[in-house]
Amino acid sequence: MKFYYSKKLDSFTNLLHAFTTKECGNLAFHVGGNETEVQKNHELLAKELGYKKNSLVHMKQIHSDIVYMVRDEDFQTPPTCDALITNRKNTPLMVMVADCSPLLLYDDKKKVIAAVHAGRAGAFKNIVKNVIKKMQTEFDSDPKDIYVSAGASIGVCCYKVGSEIYEEAKALSLEYAVQKRNENFYLDVAAILKKQLLSCGIKRENIEFCDECTCCNTHKYFSYRAKAKTGRFAGVIQLTP
């Protein structure tokens, strides 16, 4: 199985994490794939990374700004949300994507982790701000101690949007993230997320974004924009003893 690691998170010895690729197979149950095959993909990934499959918490993602505090483990009944936070050890969190940004967060001082699904809707709703606030209120996290790594996502090179999305971006003062080329609009979601993270007090040197576009690299990643009926790859993070 091929997956890759964050340079920002890889140095922490009490942290398990990875971003999967297409070679790891589809990890989502909701996209029309064979459920037995998806279960097998999860089992193989858990074995490869060294966590217990049934302790994994993933999400029923709905492109919201809802943040869920993980206090129990239940692989079979994922919470409806777009961000997970926990300070529980041996409880892996997973975010699944196929163009949206998979964000993994870690506060090394308070020993708190988060997994966040942030596409256009999440960026426009500033889910990042909700996650940081939740880490502050629940665990007294200082944003300066939080590290953030984002896996591959669709780039501004490929994310063509309609004029209504441009108008929505303007209304939210996000027009800086829209490029106009040949009378078409292209959205840079990563630019929005980076600015939001900095506005929350995350240090620039603690932020890492993968520069690979999922739509440009369909040999390596699933991409909804390239093929609507497709699987999902994932970001995984877990606190270890």
* Per-residue pLDDT at 62: 97
- H or E segment to which residue 138 belongs: helix 127-139
The arithmetic mean of pLDDT across residues 5-28, rounded, is: 96
Instruction: Using the structure block, give the residue that is written with the tokens 């997970």.
Output: 84
- H or E segment to which residue 130 belongs: helix 127-139
Instruction: Grade residue 181 by pLDDT with cuts at 50, 70 and 90.
Output: very high
Instruction: Grade residue 32 by pLDDT with cuts at 50, 70 and 90.
Output: confident
pLDDT at 116 over 90: yes
For residue 24, what are the CA distances in angstroms to 156, 221, 232?
26, 10, 10
Instruction: Grade residue 1 by pLDDT with cuts at 50, 70 and 90.
Output: confident
pLDDT at 129 over 80: yes
Buried-state track 59-98, b at ≥16 Cβ within 10 A, e below 16: bebebbbbbbebeeeebeebbebbbbbbbbeebbbbbbbb
Amino acid letter at 53? K
φ/ψ (deg, to 5) at 4: -135, 160
* Per-residue pLDDT at 112: 98
Q: Which domains does the chain have, with CATH numbers?
A: 3-153+209-239 (3.60.140.10)
- Residues belonging to the chain: 241
* Per-residue pLDDT at 74: 73
Residue 154 in tokens: 């669709």
Beta-carbon contacts of residue 88 (< 8 Å; ≥ 6 apart): 70, 71, 239
Angstrom distance (rounded) from CA 95 to CA 82: 8
List pLDDT tens digits, range 37-51. 999 999 999 999 999
Fill in the DSSP letter of residue 84.
E
The arithmetic mean of pLDDT across residues 131-156, rounded, is: 98
List pLDDT tens digits, range 196-226. 999 999 999 999 999 999 999 999 999 999 9
pTM exceeds cut of 0.85: yes
